[in-house]
Amino acid sequence: MGCCKSGPTAGIDPSGFNRPFTIQKPQRALDGAGGFTNDVWQDIGQLWASVKQQSGNEVFRHQRLETDWTDKITTYYRPDLDPAEGNTFRLIDQKGNAYNIRRIEDVGQLQQFFIIYAQAGVVD
């Protein structure tokens, strides 16, 4: 298992990148009256990744049960995903679940793979 035998990318196996995601970034939209509305999410690309659940949480809030979870998403490096702006992007999986990106790591600073920590479910 794993494509690389040593170094920071050891254990990352691209053959496991079997989950498709759409990458989205907020864009300002015109409101038709000369101003702007709130940001709208615009598709900027696709990626394939492996996903490993990191944590989950259930909270009873406002008389309902809310669930969220954090996943570790591993994929190829993409120059259009800037780790410094990670929290401005989100991912949408094939089921329509939105993942708010909390952090992007360039594995070993080698520009080969990203590890993306993203939260889904009821998130702020």
Tens digit of each residue's pLDDT (9 = 90 or more) over 64-117: 776 777 999 999 999 999 999 888 899 999 999 899 999 999 999 999 999 999
Are 65 and 58 spatial neighbours (Cβ–Cβ below 8 Å)? yes
Instruction: Between 16 and 54, name the one with better pLDDT.
Output: 16
Residue 8 has pLDDT above 70, yes or no: yes
User: Which band of pLDDT confidence, cut at 50, 70 and 90, is reported for residue 35?
Assistant: confident
How many domains does the structure of the chain reveal? 1
Q: What is the pLDDT of residue 66?
A: 67
57 within some domain: yes
Q: What is the pLDDT of residue 28?
A: 82
2 within some domain: no
Q: What is the pLDDT of residue 3?
A: 53
Give the span between the Cα atoms of 97 and 73, in whole angstroms.
Answer: 14
6 within some domain: no
User: Which band of pLDDT confidence, cut at 50, 70 and 90, is reported for residue 121?
Assistant: confident
102 within some domain: yes
Secondary structure, 3-state, the chain:
CCCCCCCCCCCCCHHHCCEEEEEEEEECCECCCCCECCCEEEEEEEEEEEEEEEEEEEEEECCEEEEEEEEEEEEECCCCCCHHHHHHCEEEECCCCEEEEEEEEEHHHCCCEEEEEEEEECCC
Average pLDDT in the chain: 86
Instruction: Between 121 and 77, name the one with better pLDDT.
Output: 77
61 within some domain: yes
88 within some domain: no
Full residue range of the structural domain in which residue 70 is found: 16-29+37-81+94-121
4 within some domain: no
22 within some domain: yes
